[in-house]
Amino acid sequence: MPVRTVRIFNGFERFWHWSQALLILILAFTGFRIHGYYGGISFDRAVSVHTIAAIGLIVLWIFAIFWHLTTGTWRHYLPTTQGLWPVVRFYAWDIFRGKPHPYRKHFWRKHNPLQAASYLGLKLVLFPLIWFSGLAYLTYNFWQQGISHPALSWVATVHVATAFAILAFLIIHLYLLTTGGSFRHHVAPMLTGYDEVELTDVELAYLKQDEPHRLKD
């Protein structure tokens, strides 16, 4: 199949990605301060910034969910076992032997099978956990009556554990950006929107006729 430079990430997708990353870093930074891991800013300021960033992230997620559902891009996150083992083997073994990555992006399948499964788990498990535990923590004064304090302790434990899991995902994500090519090569598509993609004859014909602005000469 021919490889063409195609815009696979539109403006909102890039805005959503970088805004989400920034808000998660702010939440991690203020969260560590709330737990007393460092000083520098007051506890009250850290709580205020943490709360504002959390609300901003929830609003961003709501818009992102709506966008994924209405544009059909949710299909990129459908898990599949087809081609999964070669990708797992690449990161576990072949990458250290200098072998090329076994997966190349497709127009209708931007993420390799391992990425799709990881992103789906992030969106369906970790994000809802951090979302609902955070809201439960924020609104504790409204539902605490008649509920013992251990309930808040469980909410806090789930929230913090999920936050560390998301932070671990972010660290792994950044590490993988340094493998299988230059860091710039991996980051550039999320800055410009364009990436090299294998196109079938049908996909190429569709782009030329219906979305020629996506193709880069």
pLDDT at 16: 92
Give the H/E segment covering residue 68.
helix 43-71
pLDDT at 149: 63
pLDDT at 146: 59
How many Cβ atoms from other residues are within 10 Å of residue 101's Cβ? 15
pLDDT at 104: 73
In the chain the domains, ranked by start, together with CATH numbers, are: 3-214 (1.20.950.20)
Contacts of 75 (CB under 8 A, 6+ apart): 108
Q: Is the pTM of this model over 0.85?
A: no
Q: How far apart are CA 84 and CA 73, in angstroms?
A: 20
How many Cβ atoms from other residues are within 10 Å of residue 183's Cβ? 11
pLDDT at 74: 83
Beta strands in the chain (DSSP E): 3-7, 194-198
DSSP per-residue codes, 106-126: BTTB-S-HHHHHHHHHIIIII
pLDDT digits over 63-97, tens only? 999 998 898 888 878 878 888 888 888 888 888 88
Compute the half-sphere exposure of residue 169: CA atoms within 13 Å on the CB side of its CA: 21
pLDDT at 63: 92
Query: What parts of the chain have a pLDDT lower than 70?
Result: 1, 145-149, 180-183, 217
Backbone phi, psi, residue 98, to 5°: 75, 15
Contacts of 155 (CB under 8 A, 6+ apart): 133, 136, 137, 140
